[in-house]
Amino acid sequence: MNISFTPEKSKNIIKIDDLKDYAVLFNALTAETMGLNLTGLLIWEKINGKRTTKDIIKVMISEFSVELERAEDDVTDLIRRLDRRMFIKFKEQNRIEPGESD
């Protein structure tokens, strides 16, 4: 995954966050749900269509004092899963095509 890509939330997502340090995302288009722990929730909150994946990685390093490699792995893994399940999309100029590898 190119970390200069800019993810943005899909418009059909409902976030249920009445749980302590945990949230559930519901995709109204596909009827899928996805649970997010505190780390995943921070990543989700930073996805705004303006921050690149690299920007989100920097926030993770700052907020959780983790190594660069760990932050890259955690952020890119979640962003890939969110994209595959249509919870996010990438801005048109950096859209990942199906079957395209890292």
Pairwise CA distance, residues 37 & 54, whole Å:
20
16 within some domain:
yes
Residue 102 lies in a domain: no
Q: How many domains does the chain have?
A: 1
Residue 79 belongs to some domain of the structure = yes
Per-residue pLDDT tens over the stretch 3-12:
788 999 999 9
CATH number of the domain where residue 32 is located = 1.10.10.1150
pLDDT in tens, 24-33: 999 999 999 9
In this prediction, residue 102 carries a pLDDT of 43
Q: Is residue 44 part of a domain?
A: yes
Global pTM reads 0.83
Domain that holds residue 34: 7-88
Task: Please give the Cα distance from 46 to 50 (Å, whole number).
Answer: 9
